[in-house]
Every structure is written in C-alpha cells, then in structure tokens.
C-alpha cells in the first residue's frame, strides 16, 4: 500500500524546545493520517480477523495522558519504506542545508512519543486520539532523501509564517508486510 504525506513548515536543527517542535510537526501529519484510516484497508481490517474480530486497525498507546494511534505497528507486522522529497529555500550544497539533522527531526515527528518528555506542552489533549505514522522509527526499513531548491514558497497559504528554515516535504510511504498474518492480509495486495 502506498500513500503520500505533505509537510510545510520549519524543520529546526537544534530547537530550544525540541519536544514542542516535534509535536508541531506531528500535528501537521495527524489530520492526514486520520483521513487515511477512514479508507480501505484500514477501515475494514476487522472483517479479515477471525474469530470474533475485536481489534482495531490501529493500536492505541497511552503516553502522557494522550491517546496515540500509530498506524504502522509491530503487532500488525507492518514496516515502512520512505522516499522524502525535501524542498528548501537554500541553494542546494550550501553549508546551511543540514540534511541529516532535518531528516532525524522529521522521523521523530512521524513516530509516536515514547514517553511524556517527548510530548510538547501545547499538544492538544482534547481532540481524541492523535494519529502518527509509526509506532517507532525502527519500523522504517528503507529511506531515501532527495533535496532541491524551493523556488517559490508563495504558492502556500499566506497565513503561514515562512522562515529560512521553512521546508516543503512530500513523503512517499510504502507500507510493507514483514510477516503475513490474517490481520495484515489487506496490505499484501
């Protein structure tokens, strides 16, 4: 199964409030992932489970008083391959374009927080479960990153504050089955 996630905003390399920065990134992915699980195969996963299906296509984790729903989890034996297209305002190849730390930051934003210290103070607590792509980043088995110069950020919403750290990312996600089970049968197509 393949789908795309979009991100436009800052990817700070060493933010002072790292947990909040990662939380802000997570909250850009949350509505996209929430919409994804409304569609097949996520929404009808229970019909493939026997007997008496009771599991949800996502596993809820409780961290820091918030429910988190990662959609790629070890219990479903799913893994992810990511192809990241990163467009940033700097000319490619200048010292300011720190790719490895930006990739680490975005990967942290794609995974569920592992403890309370990884949850930002401004993370909403009253919106129901927050969806994340990954239970943990060890479920990524393939990663490729391509960078390019973002020629015009004017195509984005005028209300979004643009800074030299603003990046547009298109993340191609390929969900793979690590081990076939009845629960992950819909993902083998």
pTM: 0.85
Q: Which domain holds residue 91?
A: 2-188
End-to-end CA distance of the chain: 7
Q: Is 50 helix (H, G, I), strand (E, B) or coil?
A: coil
Rounded Cα distance between 71 and 24, Å, is 19
**Contacts of residue 15, Cβ cutoff 8 Å, sequence gap at least 6:** 21
The mean pLDDT value for 65-92 works out to 87
What is the C-alpha separation between 27 and 33, in angstroms, rounded?
A: 10
∠ CA 154-160-164, nearest 5°, is 70
Using the predicted structure, report yes or no on whether residue 186 has a pLDDT greater than 50. yes
Higher pLDDT residue, 70 or 165? 70
Q: Where are the beta strands (DSSP E) in the chain?
A: 2-10, 61-63, 66-72, 78-88, 130-134, 140-149, 166-177
pLDDT in the model for residue 48: 45
**Whether the predicted pLDDT of 49 surpasses 50:** no
- pLDDT one-digit tens code per residue, 16-34: 788 899 999 999 999 999 9
Q: Residue 99: CB partners within 8 Å, gap ≥ 6? A: 86, 145, 147
- Evaluate whether 48 touches 185 at the Cβ level (below 8 Å): yes
Rounded (10°) CA dihedral 70, 159, 162, 143: 20
Token pair 């076939």: residue: 180
**Residue with token string 């994804």:** 36
Domain total of the chain: 1
Q: What is the pLDDT of residue 165?
A: 66
Residue 135 to residue 16: CA distance in whole angstroms? 25
Q: Is 65 left (phi over 0), alpha (psi -120 to 50) or beta?
A: left
Q: If you ran DSSP here, which 8-state letter would residue 91 be given?
A: P
Helix (H, G, I), strand (E, B) or coil at 73: coil
């Amino acid at each position: 199964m393949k789908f795309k996630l979009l991100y436009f905003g800052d990817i700070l390399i060493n933010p002072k409030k790292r947990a909040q920065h990662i939380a802000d990134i997570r909250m850009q992915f949350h509505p996209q992932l929430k919409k994804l699980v409304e569609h097949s195969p996520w929404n009808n996963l229970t019909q493939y489970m026997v007997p008496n299906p009771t599991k949800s296509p996502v596993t809820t984790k409780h961290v820091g008083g918030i429910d988190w729903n990662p959609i790629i989890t070890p219990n479903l034996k799913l893994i992810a391959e990511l192809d990241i297209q990163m467009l940033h305002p700097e000319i490619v190849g200048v010292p300011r374009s720190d790719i490895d730390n930006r990739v680490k930051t975005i990967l942290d934003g794609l995974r569920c927080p592992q403890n309370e210290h990884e949850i930002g103070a401004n993370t909403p607590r009253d919106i129901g479960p927050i969806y994340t792509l990954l239970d943990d980043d060890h479920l990524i088995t393939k990663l490729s990153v391509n960078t390019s110069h973002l020629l015009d950020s004017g195509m984005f919403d005028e209300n979004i504050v643009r800074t030299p750290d603003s990046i547009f990312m298109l993340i191609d996600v390929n969900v793979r089955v690590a081990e076939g089970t009845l629960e992950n049968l819909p993902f083998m197509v």
